[in-house]
Structure 1
Amino acid sequence: MRDLLKGAPLSALAAAALAGLLLAPTVAGADEGMWTFNNFPSAKVKQAYGFSPDPTWLERVQLASVRLARGCSGAFVSASGLVQTNHHCARACIQQVSTADHNHIKDGFYAAELKDEAKCPDMEVNQLVQITDVTQRMNAATAGKEGDAFSAALKEVQAAIQTECTGGADDTRCDVVELYHGGAYNLYKYHRYQDVRLVFAPEEDIAFFGGDPDNFEFPRYDLDVSYVRVYDKDGKPLNTKATYFPYASHDANEGDLVFTSGNPGRTERLDTVAELEYERDHALPDRLLYLSELRGILLQFTAQGGENARIARTKLFTLENSYKALYGGLQTLVDPALINAKRKDEAALKALIDADPALKQQYGDPWAAIAKSLDHYAVVATRYGVLEGSRSFIQSDMFTYARNLVRAASERPLPDGKRLREYTDANFPFIRQRLLSNSPVYPELERVLMRMQLVYMQRQLGPDDPLVRKVFGNRSAQQIADDLVTGSSLGDPSVRKSLLEGGQAALDASTDPMITFAKLVDADALAARRDVEANVSAVQQKNAGYIAQAMFKVHGTSVYPDATFSPRVSYGTVKGYEQSGQHVAPFTTMGGTFDRATGAFPFALPESWLKAKDAINPAQKFDAVSTNDIIGGNSGSPVINKDAEVVGLIFDGNIQSLGGDYGYDGSVNRAVWVSVGALKEALAKVYRANRLSKELGAH
């Protein structure tokens, strides 16, 4: 699964390709690049494959593609708002509509009629409708500013642009997207849809067949698909007659040109050596140790009973996926070939600047400035990570609710440009949706997570830290967690609604212990955040922008920007590869699934597949690989042919592609996807989902 992807071993060829990325982008691998819709290399595609995607084709693909705001991609695949994405992308919804009596993760879900489609409590779907270049306005607002002043100006102008774009409409989302690490800025305007309903999901045993052992591997035998439907403001299926991808009548074949459109999360292909070294030596090891500890806690919790296993399964699934991907990233960065290639690359570009007095005067030494910011971050990173970052109390749903309520009360009355970015008019609808959702909260799991985070905070910050002393007093982590969870009413959406609508007065009057706790830690958390924003993020963004501008002077925008969880297009061909001296074919078959099955987890097939074995065409192509350049966030991306027809559904990459955070190696990097013929075959013959098959034209 490619969400939260962070890299893995990179070959010498990939390192060499990365070294040439800035200085000789035209010699990069033919299929390399996650391209923006307004800067797609159509001429390059035509030269390589004889087909040139024109503006009309690109606009159609843009409008038919969607982003799932929680971190995935998807596509409209019918005239009635039906969206195709991955099972693991809709997993939160599938879990949320499940109960102790109806475990849809385990048993699957199918709405035989429209009225049976189940509302996803907090899923948001975004459709990109417009891209505008706002670089000049962003740069003018921040010119001559440093540190706090730069950060404040950047936040203020970004909020102003986004507010102007939305016009106060909750069904419009506008994001100022930083490209080339601040070298350019585009405004992306989306239709925002928050009435999204689950239509179909297979059983986990086939959606994630092979489990963690097969994750990031190939051959694969996964039906990693789910279908959800977008509804309009009148509660009717959205009319997407003019903006959807039809299913192709046949599968793609080896050598076929295919495209993916999706939202790759983040890459670091344009990072400096100092940033990559910090990632290698500090950020990734710290994150992996934390995830290891959290994984152990969750495994212990799930071993205590079937219901515990059900309610914790989604968190454990996401965690294990993240760990494997992050570990791959560390393996990439410890290979000296990558850093050495990047160091040579930097030296060459730096020499170009130093040789031109005007450029030297304009940009100075941005690499040194970024390295200095990382020295500062090394001092404050632990506190930031534990209180505000990815290792904080946000693992707990109840704490996350509390923090969002506390901050909404203080941030929302401020002028839009002075707020934290999550609470601006453009961004707050997503948080509000989550606050008001009826997603279930499980107190027993919450207690375990809060206890773990309290112990972690005490160990990382030290027992003598003033905040730790205030939090713990004379109580243990277990006592605090029990008191917070048992005494809190934040699991009730009506309580959260009342606190949100009541504003600061309601928060001041609240005696809910989780609210009190969120207030207690928030001052320190915000102080850590503001420090990092002013002294690390602002410095890096400004100086990375200088590096990008120098790069533009040499090559223009013929280099694609790093991924930013914004819509991109990649192209490639259906193609196998060599691994350990063996050829890996580009397809598996549905018949091969039964050969691989052992009957024991994670290679046990669901009963529905065992019953349908004789009906399934064993030669039908199941999963496939292609050379498309993808990364985390591309999960759920459609694979389409030249006629903009669906021929597949991205759900993963092979182990070699995990190095995609830092470079691309076309000889072995592969996107992994479900073939359209397998989707049709399963819907018709395994699940007998006649209504859905008919809507997809799969009969």
Structure 2
Amino acid sequence: MKKIFLLATFLMSFLQMRADEGMWLLMLIKRLNHVDMQKEGLHLTPEEIYSVNHSSLKDAIIQFGGGCTAEVVSDQGLVFTNHHCGYGSIAALSTPEKDYLTNGFWAANNQEEIPAPGLSVRFLVRMDNVSDRINAKLNNKMSPEEREKIIETEYKAIKTENSENGKYTVVVKDFFNGNEFYYFVYQDYKDVRLVGTPPNSLGKFGGDTDNWEWPRHTADFSVFRIYADATGNPAEYSASNTPLKPKHSLPVSLKGYQPDSYTMIVGFPGRTNRYLTSYGIQQMVYRDYPAWVQASKTAMDVMKKYMDKDQATKLNYASQYASVANYWKNRQGTIDAVLKNGTIEDKIEVEKKYLQWANTAANKDPYSGVLEQIDEYYKYVSNRNVERNYSSQLQRNAKYLGVAYTLGSLLKTYAEQDEAGKTEMKPKILANIDRIYEKFNINLEGEMLNSMVGLYKQKVDKSVTSPTLAAVDAKNVSNVAFSSIFATKASALAFVNSPDVAKIDSDPLKKIIDGYIADQKAVAEKYDSADERFQDNTRLFLNGLMKSQPEKSFYPDANSTMRLTYGKVRTLPERADRKYYGISEKDNYYTDVRGMVAKYKKGDEEFDLPQKFLDLMAKKDYGKYADPKTGQLQVNFLSDNDITGGNSGSPIMDGDGNLLGLAFDGNSEALSGDIIFDPEWQRTINVDVRFVLWVIEKYGNANHLINELKLVQ
């Protein structure tokens, strides 16, 4: 009976949802959203959006590289995504002699397209609801351990039942904090090749200064192609592979958009916490995120110091720096937005009403006391959570520790082998050493290790500090690394040529990482039971919250599964300090190339522009890509779609499923959006596909790519 009530609440809340809020599961569109979407401007049927047996919109949307979204735009497997999504692969393929990141790249034909090692894309084949199956075996009297064991058993069975002997990847996810469950069947393609990218000065125009800000003026796109074997199935890279023939590709619209034009975005949003309690938000903005911000900034400063000195280092660390900088600004912006928007106070009011409901006789079991236990949990784990943030940035940025951990385990196993075993392992070992040290700046990494360990020791509470790191001299830990087997490629190769188990066991850097990992495990074990109870309490809290507010709209948080969000093109409220570069405040839903030229600063790392681009701007040769209403080449535009990280590169489409542009960012005023949706301020920033095509054709001279597309005039 409880499950039936939950589902009814879920359906009713879907039907009451605002068009611009919510990230919807595609298989539920027909039952829950389609009528509303039609009223807003959708012309597709539910089956044209999501179908298992026929081609549909979902078949053109892919998860790109595990952390972004992309879309297939031709019947030859051509893919559009954001420049910042392709950034890591572009940087990895670049050298000072062939600097694709700085200068751009356009393949003239398939033979010139460059394989991107390690890059893969993922298609959704189908999904289904297994909530009844799993919940039938669960009850609220179970311990967290019992519950987890049953869920894990069902997960394994569902994966086995649907993988078709390994043909597909099957992922089972919980929704509503563990109240519902769905599985997703994917097909992964691993031969993905770089086709084209604008130079960094266009693809990342505005840099960190403009990131998360409006107005934006950036060509945030890159172009890749998916390759398959002769049967159209996934295959490792091979020269004999051919471009994928997709089930569906998106037509590309040249018609543009107007205020209130219907828009929808389909992609893989990463993570939201819309049902986080006030206690969780306070921990986040007062303790967790400040730690993240400080640790990120420390790492950025070290990288920047060495990147400014040397072009090779700049290329080698470009992707890491960009990623750290993006989250650094996001986390600080989230802190500012939460405090400015009164998010905590809003949550407290919601919780007051919940407590009134939970403390009535009818609802005490099992909901009374749950919120209070969540409050106690955050008090208990507060220092541990801060340590996690400093620790995560230490692990992410101090590469010497990671090298000693991963390569150290391999080298020890290698040293323990007999001669035949060593001979068999050696090629793998050498390949790993080449990969690890290929783009490794020793001096940068030494200073990074000192700085990050020093910050950790200074900021982390002694009750949760790693004893191993506490005993390290932070000013000289780099000297430990430099005296290690893992100091350089040469020292690692010397060990391979003369392996010695005792030597690796006594290596000073490996001792540090081994001790640190053991310390991390000990802390995790200390808090295991508290974390399990917390998961149980958050599940019960959300279950009760939904029951206590049947008039309120509830939808599942993002969790890296395919979602659709729909809304409209929309301006932002006026702000005194905005400069619109020739566009009136009432029309601030778009920007055009006049703004790029106005922002141009010769030689500036963030606002320089290529001379070729400036020459084309002087001629105003916009071709068929100028907007028919404004006569301008529009660059970026705003919509009120509900997105988050992971949606980068997602297609923003019109009511016919034609591509209008690529979602790539949000605005600073709504950086609290992962916690609460603010309909007044929340916006998606998109790159206009007409600007994308103009860059490809007019700037990149790659008209053959335009010819692949189905253009809608």
Smaller-chain TM-score range?
Answer: 0.7 to 0.9
Aligned to 2:420: none
- Selected match of 1:297 from 298, 302, 308: 302
Aligned equivalent of 1:572:
567
Aligned to 1:362: 366
Is the contact made by 1:622 and 1:675 (CA closer than 8 Å) also made in structure 2? Answer: yes
* Corresponding residue of 2:582: none
Q: Which residue of 2 aligns with 1:590?
A: 593
Does structure 2 retain, via aligned residues, the 8 Å contact 1:32–1:664? yes
What amino acid maps onto 2:348 in structure 1?
A: R
Once the two structures are superposed, residues 250-299 of structure 1 have per-residue CA deviations (whole angstroms, 9 ceiling, x without a partner) of 32333321110112222221111211111122111111121222222222
466 and 362 in structure 1: CA distance in 2 versus 1, 3 angstrom threshold? closer
Corresponding residue for residue 12 of structure 1: none
1:670 counterpart = 2:680: no
- 1:45·1:52 contact (CA, 8 Å) conserved in 2? no
How far apart are the structure 1 equivalents of 2:61 and 2:473?
52
Is 2:635–2:691's contact at 8 Å kept on the other side of the alignment? yes
Q: Which has the higher contact order (CA 8 A, sep 6+)?
A: 1
Q: Which residue of 1 aligns with 2:244?
A: 239
Show the counterpart of 1:18. none
- Which residue number corresponds to residue 613 of structure 2? 609
After TM superposition, the structure 1 = structure 2 runs for residues 462-473 of structure 1, keeping only pairs within 5 Å, are: 467-468=467-468, 472=472
Map 1:64-213 to 2 at 5 A: 64-139=60-135, 143=139, 144-147=141-144, 150-151=147-148, 154-155=151-152, 157-166=154-163, 169=166, 172-213=168-209
**1:198-250 residue CA offsets vs partner (Å, 9 max, x unmatched):** 11111111112122222222222211100112222454245334222121243
- Which has the larger displacement, 543-552 or 621-630? 543-552
Which residue of 26, 31, 43 maps to 1:37?
26
Residue 515 to residue 70, structure 1, CA distance change in 2 (3 Å): farther
Q: Distance in 1 between matches of 2:46 and 2:242?
A: 30
Normalising by structure 1, we get a TM-score of 0.82
Q: For residue 394 of structure 2, what is the aligned residue in structure 1?
A: 392
Deviation sequence 1:362-418 (CA, Å, 0-9, x none): 33432122222222211423444455xx233232456446545789999xxxxxxxx
Once the 2 structures are TM-superposed, how far is the Cα of residue 515 of structure 1 from its aligned partner?
A: 5.7
CA contact (8 A) 1:398 1:441 kept: no
Deviates most, 68-77 or 638-647: 68-77
Question: What is the aligned partner in structure 2 of residue 630 from structure 1?
Answer: 643
Measured in 1, the distance between the counterparts of 2:11 and 2:542 equals: 9
1:397–1:441 Cα contact (<8 Å) kept = no
Distance 2:483 2:155 in 1: 41
Instruction: Report the equivalent of 2:330.
Output: 325
Aligned-pair CA distance for 1:327:
0.9
Deviation of residue 180 (structure 1)?
1.6
SS of the residue 1:391 aligns to: helix
Distance in 1, matches of 2:551 and 2:20, equals 20
SS in 1 for 2:85: coil
Q: Can you give the 5+ residue segments of structure 1 that lack an aligned partner in the other structure? A: 1-20, 411-431, 499-504
| Counterpart-to-counterpart distance in 2, 1:168 and 1:402 | 36
Q: Secondary structure of the residue that 1:308 maps to in structure 2?
A: helix
Alignment of 1:461-540 (within 5 A): 467-468=467-468, 472=472, 476-484=476-484, 486-487=486-487, 517-536=512-531, 538-540=532-534
Quick check: 2:451–2:474 contact (8 Å CA) kept in 1? no
Which amino acid is 1:567 matched to?
M
Aligned to 1:222, which of 213, 218, 221? 218
Q: Would the aligned equivalents of 1:616 and 1:681 in 2 still touch at CA under 8 Å?
A: no
Q: Distance in 2 between matches of 1:437 and 1:176?
A: 36
Q: 1:98 offset after TM fit, Å?
A: 0.9
2:250 corresponds to 1:256 = no
**1:548-573 residue CA offsets vs partner (Å, 9 max, x unmatched):** 32344454995221121221111111
Which string of whole-angstrom CA distances, capped at 9 and with x for unpartnered residues, describes residues 68-94 of structure 1? Answer: 244111111111222210010011101
What SS does the corresponding residue of 1:326 show, helix, strand or coil?
A: helix
Alignment partners' CA distance in 2, 1:323 and 1:383: 17
Distance verdict in 2 for CA 1:391–1:177, change over 3 Å: same
For 1:436 and 1:250, the matched residues in 2 are separated by: 52
Amino acid at match of 1:454: V
Change (3 A) 1:317 1:651: same
- The 8 Å contact of residues 480 and 509 in structure 2, kept in 1 or not, is answered as no
Cα drift, residue 528 of structure 1: 2.9
What CA distance in whole angstroms lies between the structure 2 residues aligned with 1:285 and 1:486?
A: 32
Q: Deviations over 1:290-337 (max 9, x none)?
A: 122222222222233333333233222222221211111111232473
| Contact 2:95/2:315, CA 8 A, preserved across alignment | no
Deviation at 1:66, TM superposition (A): 0.9
Distance 1:449 1:163 in 2: 44
Q: Do 1:589 and 1:621's aligned partners in 2 also have CA atoms closer than 8 Å?
A: yes
| Structure 1 residue 543 displacement after superposition | 1.9
User: Structure 1 residues 368-377 or 480-489, which shifts more?
Assistant: 480-489
Task: Assess, with a 3 A threshold, how the Cα gap between structure 1 residues 400 and 340 changes in structure 2: closer, same or farther.
Answer: same
Identity percentage of aligned residues: 22
Q: Displacement, 1:184?
A: 1.4
Equivalent residue letter for 1:282 = R
Partner Cα separation in structure 2 for residue 527 and residue 463 of structure 1: 14
Residue 602 of structure 2 is matched in structure 1 by 599
Structure 1 residue 105: deviation in Å?
Answer: 1.3
Tell me the distance in 1 between the aligned counterparts of 2:323 and 2:288: 19
Q: How many residues align?
A: 647
1:351 alignment counterpart: 356
Q: Deviations over 1:535-588 (max 9, x none)?
A: 22x233222222332344454995221121221111111222322264352222
Deviates more, 1:443-452 or 1:200-209: 443-452
How far is the alpha carbon of 1:612 from its aligned partner? 2.9
Distance 1:653 1:94 in 2: 24
Shift of the 239–52 alpha-carbon distance from structure 1 to 2, 3 Å rule, reads closer
Q: 2:374, 2:537 within 8 Å by CA — same for their partners in 1?
A: yes
Contact 1:393 1:453 in 2 (8 A): no
1:441 is aligned, of 439, 449, 458, to 439
Cα distance change on mapping 1:353 and 1:575 into 2, 3 Å = same
Alignment deviations for residues 43-84 of structure 1 (CA, whole Å, 9 cap, x no partner): 222344465642332342222111124411111111122221
**1:568 is aligned with what amino acid?**
R
Mean CA deviation greater in 103-112 or 552-561 = 552-561
Q: Is the 8 A contact 1:615 1:685 kept in 2?
A: no
Pair member with larger Rg: 2
Asked if the contact 2:642–2:684 (Cα under 8 Å) also holds between the matched residues in 1, the reply is yes
Go from structure 1 to structure 2 and tell me whether the alpha carbon gap of 1:123 and 1:606 turns closer, same or farther (over 3 Å shift). same
For the structure 1 residues 43 and 86, does the alpha-carbon distance in structure 2 shift closer, same or farther, using more than 3 Å as the test?
same
Contact in 2 for aligned 1:119/1:196 (Cα 8 Å)? yes
Deviation string 1:151-199 (CA, Å, 9 cap, x unpaired) is 5555554445435443552x63222222122221211221112222111
Distance, in Å, in 2 between the alignment partners of 1:447 and 1:278 is 32
- Give the alignment's Cα RMSD to 1 decimal: 3.8
Give the CA deviation at 1:638. 0.5
Question: What's the secondary structure of 2:671's corresponding residue?
Answer: helix
Amino acid paired to 1:305: D
Structure 1 counterpart of 2:225, one-letter code: R
Match of 2:253, SS state, is coil
Greater mean deviation of Cα atoms: 105-114 or 239-248: 239-248
Structure 2 Cα separation of the partners of residues 690 and 492 of structure 1: 48
Q: Is contact 1:451–1:481 with CA below 8 Å preserved after alignment? A: no
Partner of 2:581: none
> Residue 277 of structure 1: which of 282, 307, 322 is its match?
282
